[in-house]
Amino acid sequence: MSVPGCAKPAAVPLDVIRERGQREVFCGLTGIVWMHRKIQDAFFLVVGSRTCAHLIQSAAGVMIFAEPRFATAIIDERDLAGMADMNEELDREVKRLLQRRPDIKLLFLVGSCPSEVIKLDLQRAAERLSEQYMPEVRVLNYSGSGIETTFTEGEDTCLEALVPVCPQPPADAAQQLLIVGALPDIVEDQFRRLFDKLGIDNLAFLPPRKSSDLPSIGGNTRYLLAQPFLTATADALNKRGAQRLPAPFPFGAEGTTAWLQAAATAWGVAAETFREVTAAAEQRARSAVARYRFQLADKSIFFFPDSQLEVPLARFLHNELGMQLCEVGSPYLHKVHLAEEFAMLPADVRLSEGQHVENQLDRCIEQAPDLVVCGLGLANPLEARGIRTKWAIELLFTPIHGYDQAGDCAELFARPLIRQDKLAV
Amino acid sequence: MKLTLWTYEGPPHVGAMRIATAMDKLHYVLHAPQGDTYADLLFTMIERLPKRPPVTYTTFQARDLGADTAGLFKTACQEAYDRFQPQAMLVGASCTAELIQDDPGGLADGMDFPVPVIPLELPAYQRKENWGASETFYHLVRKLAGAHAPPPGSERPPREPGQRPRCNLLGATALGFRHRDDVTEITRLLQQLGIDIVVTAPLGATPADIARLGEADFNVVMYPEIADTAATWLQRTFRQPAVKTVPIGINATRQFIREVAELAGVDAEPVLASEASRLPWYSRSVDSTYLTGKRVFVFGDATHAVAAARIAVHEMGFDLCGVGTYSREFARDVRAVAKEFAVEALITDDYLEVEERIAELQPELILGTQMERHIAKRLGIGCAMISAPMHVQDFPARYSPQMGFEGANVIFDSWVHPLVMGLEEHLLGMFREDFEFHDGATASHLASEGGHAVSRPTAVADSDAAAAADTVNATASVAVAEATTPATQTDTAAAAQDMTWDDEAQQELRKIPFFVRGKARRNTEAYAREQGLAEVTLDTLYEAKAHYGNR
Ligand code: SF4
Ligand code: SF4
């Protein structure tokens, strides 16, 4: 475990395929599907095209019964005629929206490819609208566009936008632990209990459940990333003087322990205390995971690039379940944030970054893995070829972090194989 | 700029994808950013197609913008051609690429592919999915069939003696509402009439098939939203008349048969006489009396909305209380049918407007799309699907066309299903103030079905029934429960004031089915109180029945 503050990148494994071609990955707008549930008083207004509206609605898979806290302001040909007009249009739609939803305290203007290509300045718009609606409603902006972000990076840019409006801690503030990345509430509560027992009680989460609970961020902040896709957020936090605690990600028993250990070390928690607090939970996780070893051990798995969770999950599936890694693709490999993960992977693992979906499909079909992790567009075509799949998007909608979800996480991967065994048609 | 929560149609390039995906040996190269690849899942997940749509996306990124997006497009075209060896290619731009103006058509043209390349210009900021599909089909037909067009002005040579009449079936696409089954049904019908089909397109056709469209004597336009433009061009170019009656419903199917027979010069009577639908008899069957005058609201694409309105009124005996469409291009047809039935037409693609209209009209049944299903669920009204957009469950495993005689059977079943059944209906009439049996409540035979039944408020006095209904979809019904709670509480409060029943009356009460017993009690007591009676007797019970019994 490296010491906080001197994040020395571990050696990146040598075998990385870097490809350019068609990428079969959602854009960052997709993040809205889970983020709008996480921050309960926030509304996400995409400024984009009908395509953007259609994407979110289709990626959500099901329509949400309650009126959703997201919408799209669809740019039309009249808007494209003149920019001044467009800002007025946006102001009008925001006004209508806020009248309709007085419960909203935080409004995100979310940029899309069209808004970025026509250089609609959503930052200026957000500032202007914030001035108008503060203190009732704060207006921020970020990009979820497909030309700037893939899938989970929409969460990254959203959190990045929150960092500058987080308050400054008082000068004498005690060291604070910040957990960064949207987690299901139940997982947050589990982590809170564990940190509490470790004696780390100055604890905060980004994003908070309510926009009024934004954590303070400053030189006293040490942060743990709960998700591997938070590049821009980490940079923004570093700028505020916060320090990242290098750690693998909290998937599986091993990952969770190492992740907690990083904080425990920084807080000087005695090794004994640490074992006392974590041993039972870790053991529980190990036995929950072990239940699926039978299905998963020695089975081969192929990851198409999707959520950026691929590397930590591959590590978990390999180390704790004995799966064989065919290819671990990711839209982006962050050398520093993933350094601890790389160190835990088998040395001969084949990673790939970026995508050329046709070539990758060729490789995948040639290797005939037992299980493929991929996006919704590829899953059924692979199933039709007799290859079992797991949809990557489910990994974002299901609690999989921490000790008490390690078994659930394993089960997600085991289920397609269990189903295969059950079916006799 | 327009605020949109949910959209009925996707962007126009999704329409083009519906054409490309329906066909074989055609490939579509789309200049688009990576997120636009979501459209694949419409086909692979919602329609459950076992193959990827034949679409290559360039997936350009911000860093490419200043550099060479045109080069990216050309590479994508070349790779797609080399890999898939299509008979023809479609090339075009999605909303973002439209803004960067790389001119995919021009670029592909310069690459001299040995197959026809059809450039698509689908203005994403003005138009939508169905228009995109129609435009794509039209350009495809024009380019591929047009190569075999007779000289302008020449007459169609008469059919060779002994040659069976031949037609094309136009308009079925991927991701269409029951298109696959409709094609099967109509193909069968045409075969019965002794008519051969030259080409069915786009569904199942290759570009080479499209090139043969001119061989048919006439065209059947199954879905005007998709095929009208192409059929009009074919009529002009090849002098092929088009059958434009859409055979959804019994009357429309009969009319379709007559129209087709006349164009083909065959006898319609044997097929009409052997009509194989149960709808007419089921509708006349005495138990269907309860369907009479049910107020229905219809919303969908224009073709299906118009058909549904006619079926609802003429073939089911419902009352139409409103009809609308999101297809502005075909608004005229919907306005006409609205006028015919003296209701107001709602032409909009704004989900909130549709919701508002439905809430205002309070129909007993909604015939709509996936969006209306949500509205129906929210408002606690029965709903059946008649049109796209759809969800995965609207691609049923069983054969379920909308067109032809079998289609009419399917329609009868699926529209009646969400309604309360006969006996229940009577009880409802008798005890119509019952909060459990308010107009929006779900039929008891649906209460345990998960998906779309509405759970009822729990604060109920006498209610084995409510308990059963409440197991349904707890989260989804929160809004509904909240909305209905105040009424519930008043009702319960009123019921709490005791009223004595004599033995005979009590026994009679027990004979009333449990799911309306609470209501019967409450109504009878209310009546007794109104009459200043201290005790309920058998007579009071029946007087109450007489009082509430008639609508
Ligand atoms: S509620 Fe019904 S229509 Fe809506 S998403 Fe769920 S299953 Fe589909
Ligand atoms: S990739 Fe761009 S245009 Fe497409 S849905 Fe995402 S933001 Fe909208």
- pLDDT per residue as tens digits for the range A9-21: 445 556 799 999 9
Strand, helix or coil for residue B548: helix
Closest CA of chain B from A23, distance in Å: 6
**B152 prior amide bond cis, ω within 30:** no
Of B442, B392, B400, B436, which is closest to residue B418 (Cα–Cα)?
Answer: B442
Query: In the structure, what pLDDT confidence band is assigned to residue B160 with cuts at 50, 70 and 90?
Result: confident
- Position B47 pLDDT exceeds 60: yes
User: Is the minimum distance from the CB of A59 to ligand 2 under 6 angstroms?
Assistant: no
Lowest mean pLDDT among A58-62, A213-217, A394-398, B185-189: A58-62
What value does the mean pLDDT take over residues B174-186? 97
What confidence score (pLDDT) does residue B486 get?
A: 33
Selected residue with higher pLDDT from A30 and B505:
A30
- DSSP lists the bridge partners of residue A72 as A46, B4
| CB contact (8 A) between residue A113 and residue B2 | no
Which residues fall within 8 angstroms of residue A87, CB to CB, at 6 or more apart? A125, A128
**B202 prior amide bond cis, ω within 30:** yes
User: What gap in Å lies between CA B198 and CA B216, rounded to an integer?
Assistant: 6
Contact B12, B94 (CB under 8 A): no
Q: Which two tokens stand for residue B532?
A: 């200043």
Which residues fall within 8 angstroms of residue B385, CB to CB, at 6 or more apart? B177, B367, B368, B369, B370, B373, B394, B414
State the alpha helices, DSSP H only, in B445-498. 464-470, 478-496
Known catalytic residue: B287? Answer: yes
Instruction: Name the residue among B2, B41, B478 with its Cβ closest to that of A58.
Output: B41
Contact B463, B518 (CB under 8 A): yes
User: What gap in Å lies between CA A10 and CA A340, rounded to an integer?
Assistant: 7
What confidence score (pLDDT) does residue A5 get?
A: 38
Instruction: Name the residue among B4, B5, B48 with its Cβ closest to that of A380.
Output: B48
- Position B436 pLDDT exceeds 70: no
User: What gap in Å lies between CA A229 and CA A394, rounded to an integer?
Assistant: 16
What confidence score (pLDDT) does residue B421 get?
A: 58
What value does the mean pLDDT take over residues A118-145? 96
Fold equal for A16-23+288-424 and A176-279: yes
Tell me if chain B has a CB within 8 Å of the CB of A375.
Answer: yes
What confidence score (pLDDT) does residue B492 get?
A: 34
Q: Radius of gyration (Cα) for chain A, nearest Å?
A: 22
Chain B, 49 to 108: residues with Cβ < 8 Å from chain A are 49-52, 56-62, 65, 76, 79, 83, 94-96, 99-100
Q: Which of B68, B109, B267, B287 is catalytic?
A: B287
| Strand residues in B292-416 grouped as ranges (E) | 295-300, 319-325, 345-347, 365-368, 382-385
CA distances from residue B403 to A79, B187, B222 in whole angstroms, order as listed: 41, 11, 9
What confidence score (pLDDT) does residue A185 get?
A: 93
Instruction: Name the residue among A51, A79, A383 with its Cβ closest to that of B36.
Output: A51
Tell me if chain A has a CB within 8 Å of the CB of B121.
Answer: no
- DSSP lists the bridge partners of residue B181 as none
Contact A139, A131 (CB under 8 A): no
User: What gap in Å lies between CA B290 and CA B314, rounded to an integer?
Assistant: 15
Q: Which two tokens stand for residue A331?
A: 């839209």
Contact A154, A108 (CB under 8 A): no
Please report where in the chains the tokens 């008490």 appear, as a residue: A404
Which one-letter DSSP state was computed for residue B267?
A: -
Pocket of ligand 1 (CB under 6 A): A 62-63; B 370, 373-374, 391, 393, 451
Query: In the structure, what pLDDT confidence band is assigned to residue A114 with cuts at 50, 70 and 90?
Result: very high
Ligand nearest the Cα atom of residue B394: 1
| CB contact (8 A) between residue B34 and residue A57 | no
Chain B, 326 to 355: residues with Cβ < 8 Å from chain A are none
Of B242, B311, B302, B308, which is closest to residue B277 (Cα–Cα)?
Answer: B311
CA distances from residue A30 to A46, A180, B135, B294 in whole angstroms, order as listed: 11, 19, 29, 42
User: What gap in Å lies between CA A191 and CA A256, rounded to an integer?
Assistant: 10
Query: In the structure, what pLDDT confidence band is assigned to residue B420 with cuts at 50, 70 and 90?
Result: low
Strand, helix or coil for residue B46: helix
Q: Under CATH, which number does the domain A176-279 receive?
A: 3.40.50.1980
So where are chain A's domains?
16-23+288-424, 28-149, 176-279
What confidence score (pLDDT) does residue B52 get?
A: 97
Best mutation target, B96, B130, B379, B454, to test chain A (most A CBs within 10 A): B96
Distance (angstroms) between ligand 2 centre and the Cα of A66 equals 24
What is the CATH architecture of A28-149? 3-Layer(aba) Sandwich (3.40)
What confidence score (pLDDT) does residue B428 get?
A: 55
Q: How many helices (H) and strands (E) does chain A have?
A: 18, 14
Phi, psi of B220 (to 5 degrees): -105, 120
Chain A, 109 to 168: residues with Cβ < 8 Å from chain B are 113-114, 116-118, 145-148, 150
Best mutation target, A65, A115, A157, A383, to test chain B (most B CBs within 10 A): A65
What is the CATH architecture of A16-23+288-424? 3-Layer(aba) Sandwich (3.40)
- Position B65 pLDDT exceeds 80: yes
Query: In the structure, what pLDDT confidence band is assigned to residue B543 with cuts at 50, 70 and 90?
Result: confident
Condensed to tens digits (0 to 9), the pLDDT of residues A32-42 reads 999 998 999 99
What value does the mean pLDDT take over residues B532-550? 80
pTM higher than 0.90, yes or no?
no
- Position A408 pLDDT exceeds 70: yes
Ligand nearest the Cα atom of residue B6: 1
